[in-house]
Amino acid sequence: MTTYILRRILIMIPTLLVISIITFAVIQLPPGDYLTTYMANLAQTGEEADQAVIESLRAQYGLDKPLWYQYGKWIWGVLHGDFGQSFSMNKPVKELIWERLALTVLISLVTLVFTWIIAIPIGIYSATHQYTFFDYFFTFLGFIGMSIPGFLLALILMSLSYKYLNTTPGGLFSDAYLDAPWSMAKVVDLLKHLWIPVVILSVAGTAGLIRQVRANLLDQLEMPYVVTARAKGLGELRLLLKYPVRVAINPIVSTLGWMLPMLFSGSVIVAMVLSLPTTGPLLLSGLLEQDMYLAGSFIMILSTLTVIGTLISDILLAWVDPRIRFERQQT
Amino acid sequence: MSVEPTAIAPPEKGEEKLYLASQWRLMWWKFQDHKLAVFALYVVLALYLVAIFCEFLSPSDPNKRDAKHSFAKPQRVRVFHDGKPHRPFVYPLVQHIDEVTLARTYTEDKTEPQSIRLLPKGDPYRMWGFIPLERHAIGLGDGKRLYLMGADRLGRDLFSRILWGTRISLSIGLCGVTLSLILGVVIGGISGYYGGIIDTLIQRLIEILRSFPTIPLWMALSAAMPATWSQIRVYFCMTIILAGIGWVGLARVVRGKILALREEDYAMAARVAGVGEFSIIMRHLIPGFLSHLIVTVTLAIPGMILAETSLSFLRLGLRPPTISWGVLLQATMNFRAVNLYPWLLFPVLFVIVTVLMFNFLGDGLRDAADPYSH
């Protein structure tokens, strides 16, 4: 087990390296470099750029050096927690991103748990009651859920609530707590607002997961060992939870790997519509204003988190499924 | 392949016919049993027909503005005028402007019904950009405008705009998938057929690409497109961006299947007979799992359509004056407008129906293509 985890962590390193190179390429994509954008911005406000400031900035980012040097400089900074300067906010990127990232991760994790709590019982029910009315009902609901992208759902919900409640359920905090420091009351307030994005985001994932649980469990229910257990007189519920569900859950653990990128992706657009103080809106404004250090940092960190999520799901899978654990040991 | 033919095909087809039927015919019979999927197939075909003939089908020019109909409400099609049956008609809309709030409201002028005519002369257009025509499928004729789904801020007919949007939104899905199919087959094929170090490298690359959250990456790439680019260039670039990440799923399918099939006797026979490697992959291995590929492609198209819609919605993808469903949805960012003019949400309906139908179709195809499913 330990060697398996160690090997998976070692494999992560080249992955993260490639991710950082792609992110750096994204930062470099727009025409012009950081400095020209900075100067254009200053010119817009009518200020003169100080030659000394420009020179020092140029040296700081190594803009007169070749690309590989700039990459090295950037990645060195990233490794030390320095993500560069956001010129549109005129602040270091690291001051802007962490709270938003934390909220994004919070929403994603709560959504994940919520998805599992809803989807696994329904999936089990659908499989054990195959071709009944509720099975068809949930299947149909699942299809619709998979077909409605989160941001459209958010749009519809927002306009309905504007129409009938005369408020928009946007944001994560009430006005009173918007700029307040963290406190117990603020956390409670956050939880009150959290359910809307969580419900919207979990729709697609829940629909997919129900189908997967149902399919996995149906495969298991036909197995001879289920018949054996039933023949020896094991109660139906205990039988179900102890054997087939236990096996059918394993592939679900591995879905963590693809659910995390999906949730991070989905939350970006849903956050735009619901105007949540998460990564989405800042990433978009960063991209639109070509504030590339800001946008690049988000992409880099979200991807890194995804890789870590995949690692955790792999370790969890090896932990819950002895078949995988032993197979790895033998190779 | 050991298939129990009686289990899949309609019983009235006759025993002998069943055993002689080709794999594709068996699939088609099985597909026909899936009523919802057959229905979805017809809807999808209808949507693509709309995409092909949108100039003709739309009642008016999608870019023609009309200040007298800014945010006009959808006209209701009626069949009773003054209590008597009448051929389908609409009442003309009269605009009222509230002097305080400047909000526009519309009432129907019930004195003069305007019949909906087939093939009336309307705004002149060029079919597919080169055949000059002026007859539309439906309309009111005589220069009057029909607003079946209301109008946008500039008084442009939303129904016509949605039909035009169908062309861009559906074709970008198809182009993106075609491109990712080519990439997926070539890269997945190489990876599966040669194996070894190439395989390992490609698999690692796929794993890395899969670990990127797609939408932020798509956003970053589309944001890099300069605002000065022409519509056509943005369209093609969008296709490339969508396919550039979309191919990984297809490549995995292709690799897995080729890995299994290359050891088959017939592949060996082809190799011994001196067939080139490329030819073995293309002519002998791929037909073996073409049905799987079709299923994967069908299920990938809605993802592409949604990606385009989301990006355009965020103003990162296609931009006006290009008309796509995502571009039309940009107007819904403003909740006040949506609240006053809820018909701006009509494109949402089209997006959801399209994606739903593609999912039903793909699901039906998957069941039909799997010889072991019941």
Q: What is the pLDDT of residues A7-23, one digit of tens each?
A: 888 888 888 888 888 88
A50 burial level (CB within 10 Å; 0-12, 13-18, 19+): exposed
Give the tens place of pLDDT for each residue, B258-294: 888 888 888 889 889 988 888 888 888 888 788 788 8
How far apart CA A289 and CA A283 sit, in angstroms, is 10
Looking at CA atoms only, how far is residue A11 from chain B in angstroms?
9
Whether B211 contacts A261, CB under 8 Å: yes
pLDDT: is B166 or A74 the higher one?
Answer: B166
Give the tens place of pLDDT for each residue, B315-326: 888 888 888 888
CB-based contact, B211 to chain A, within 8 Å: yes
Predicted local distance difference test score (pLDDT) of residue B43:
94
Q: Which amino acid is at B70?
A: S
CB-based contact, B214 to chain A, within 8 Å: yes
From chain A, the residues in CB contact with B315 under 8 A are 288
How far apart CA B308 and CA B169 sit, in angstroms, is 7
Of residues B94, B41, B42, B69, the one with CA closest to residue B160: B69
B39 — pLDDT class (breaks 50, 70, 90): very high
CB contact under 8 A, B314 and A284: yes
Q: Is 70 exceeded by the pLDDT of residue B2?
A: no
Select the highest-mean-pLDDT range: A165-179, B171-185, B339-353: B171-185
A46 — pLDDT class (breaks 50, 70, 90): low
CB contact under 8 A, B224 and A15: no
Predicted local distance difference test score (pLDDT) of residue B374:
47
Q: Which amino acid is at B120?
A: P
Looking at CA atoms only, how far is residue A147 from chain B in angstroms?
5
Mean per-residue pLDDT, B189-217? 83
Q: Is 60 exceeded by the pLDDT of residue B11?
A: no
From chain A, the residues in CB contact with B248 under 8 A are none
How far apart CA A243 and CA A234 sit, in angstroms, is 11
pLDDT: is B334 or B49 the higher one?
Answer: B49
Q: Tell me how many helices (H) and strands (E) chain A has.
A: 14, 2
Q: Which amino acid is at A209?
A: L
Local structure of A86: helix, strand or coil: strand
Radius of gyration of chain A (CA): 24
Average pLDDT of chain A to the nearest whole number: 80
Predicted local distance difference test score (pLDDT) of residue B1:
42
C-alpha distance from residue A301 to each of A11, A98, A104, A211, B235 (Å)? 18, 10, 11, 31, 29
- In degrees rounded to 5, what are phi and psi of residue B151? -130, 160
**What percent of chain B has pLDDT above 90?**
7
Mean per-residue pLDDT, B165-184? 90
B123: its two tokens: 């705004």
Radius of gyration of chain B (CA): 26
A288 — pLDDT class (breaks 50, 70, 90): confident
How far apart CA B253 and CA A140 sit, in angstroms, is 27
How far apart CA B68 and CA B70 sit, in angstroms, is 6
CB contact under 8 A, A261 and B204: no
CB contact under 8 A, B220 and A26: yes
Predicted local distance difference test score (pLDDT) of residue A47:
66
Strand partners, B157: B151
Q: How many residues does chain B have?
A: 374
How far apart CA A284 and CA B314 sit, in angstroms, is 8
CB contact under 8 A, A302 and B213: yes
Predicted local distance difference test score (pLDDT) of residue A330:
55
A177 — pLDDT class (breaks 50, 70, 90): low
Helix (H) or strand (E) holding B289: none
Q: Give the one of B316, B342, B351 whose C-beta lies nearest to A287's C-beta.
A: B316
Q: Is 80 exceeded by the pLDDT of residue B9?
A: no
From chain B, the residues in CB contact with A159 under 8 A are 332, 335, 338-339, 342, 345
Predicted local distance difference test score (pLDDT) of residue A189:
76
A179 — pLDDT class (breaks 50, 70, 90): low
CB-based contact, B17 to chain A, within 8 Å: no
Q: Is 60 exceeded by the pLDDT of residue A307?
A: yes
B179 — pLDDT class (breaks 50, 70, 90): very high
Q: Is 60 exceeded by the pLDDT of residue B251?
A: yes
Mean per-residue pLDDT, B200-226? 82
Predicted local distance difference test score (pLDDT) of residue B278:
81
CB atoms within 10 A of CB A70: 19
Average pLDDT of chain B to the nearest whole number: 82
Torsion angle of alpha carbons A209, A99, B210, B200, nearest 10°? -130
Question: How is B133-164 classified by DSSP, letter by letter?
Answer: EEE-SEE--TT----TT-B-TT--BHHHHHHH
CB contact under 8 A, B211 and A159: no
Q: Is 70 exceeded by the pLDDT of residue A326?
A: no
Q: Among A44-53, A215-224, A236-245, A302-311, where is mean pLDDT lowest? A: A44-53
Mean per-residue pLDDT, A134-142? 87
Mean per-residue pLDDT, A40-66? 71
ipTM above 0.90, yes or no: no
How far is Cα of residue B343 from the mean position of the Cα atoms in its chain? 21
- The residue whose two tokens read 């819904």 is B332
Q: Give the one of B221, B335, B363 whose C-beta lies nearest to A162's C-beta.
A: B335
The residue among A139, A256, A287 with the most chain B CBs within 10 A of its CB, best to mutate, is: A287
Q: Is 50 exceeded by the pLDDT of residue B69?
A: yes
Mean per-residue pLDDT, A141-160? 82
Predicted local distance difference test score (pLDDT) of residue B12:
55
